Amino acid sequence: MSPCAACKLLRRRCAKGCVFAPYFPPDEPQKFANVHKIFGASNVNKMLKDLPVHQRGDAVSSMVYEANARVRDPVYGCVGAISSLQQQVIHLQSQLTVANAKILSMQMHQAKVVPT
Amino acid sequence: MSPCAACKLLRRRCAKGCVFAPYFPPDEPQKFANVHKIFGASNVNKMLKDLPVHQRGDAVSSMVYEANARVRDPVYGCVGAISSLQQQVIHLQSQLTVANAKILSMQMHQAKVVPT
């Protein structure tokens, strides 16, 4: 059996029960490379071991996402996405407030024009 | 002069020109502790040295934000915030679409009732 992508990059034997193996298959070397570059293998190892097995897959996915974002944007990483989404939420909320005010004003106008 | 929070935690001399000192003052030990726990001091050192000085402050802020989020939520970290903001954007967009459709329908109705 070929070693997982983590053990391959770390040049170590991929022992049975390797904590990385279920999440870093040998055919996706870049997935581990970025996580290793940003968080460091020993931190990732520790973070995974501190979690119950059923949450490790999600933890790996979020770490891979964060690591890829930080490699793409070394200054803001995925915090850049958070800022831009926050801006988008503020913009949409203000557009919705304007639209709702317009609806209210039209309803009041209509009530005057067509009295029930 | 007292060593910066990073050198204090790493138990090393805080030399003149220390890459951490401008961003990790001794009176904020937790700021470095979380970044160290999640990214590792040597990765942070490397990431900062790879950036021009004027971008390092922003990089530290975003790393501190990410590290704090990961300490609070070891499974999703700040990717949890991204998912929840994305949900909020989708919800607001659909509310806005409904509001705009209502405005259009009221405008058409008004045009029939009050011909200009």
pLDDT digit string, tens, across residues B17-37: 999 999 999 999 999 999 999
Rounded CA gap, A110 and A52, in Å? 60
Q: Which residue of B has its CA nearest to A43?
A: B38
CB distance from A89 to chain B under 8 Å?
yes
Q: What is the pLDDT of residue B114?
A: 64
| A4 contacts A26 by C-beta, under 8 angstroms | yes
* pLDDT, averaged across chain A: 93
Look at the block and give the residue holding tokens 């030399």.
Answer: B15
pTM of the model: 0.86
- Record the tokens describing residue B29, joined without a space: 């030990």
* Residue type present at position B44: V
Q: Is the ipTM of this complex over 0.90?
A: no
Contact A75 B59 (CB under 8 A): yes
How does DSSP assign A48-72, residue by residue? Answer: HHTS-HHHHHHHHHHHHHHHHHHHH
pLDDT tens-digit map of B46-82: 999 999 999 999 999 999 999 999 999 999 999 999 9
Residues in A touching B63 (Cβ below 8 Å): 77
- Are the CB atoms for B78 and B69 separated by under 8 Å? yes
> What confidence score (pLDDT) does residue B33 get?
94
* Contact assignment for B100 to A96 by CB distance below 8 Å: no
| Under-70 pLDDT residues of chain A | 1, 114-116
Q: Helix (H, G, I), strand (E, B), or coil: what is residue B75?
A: coil
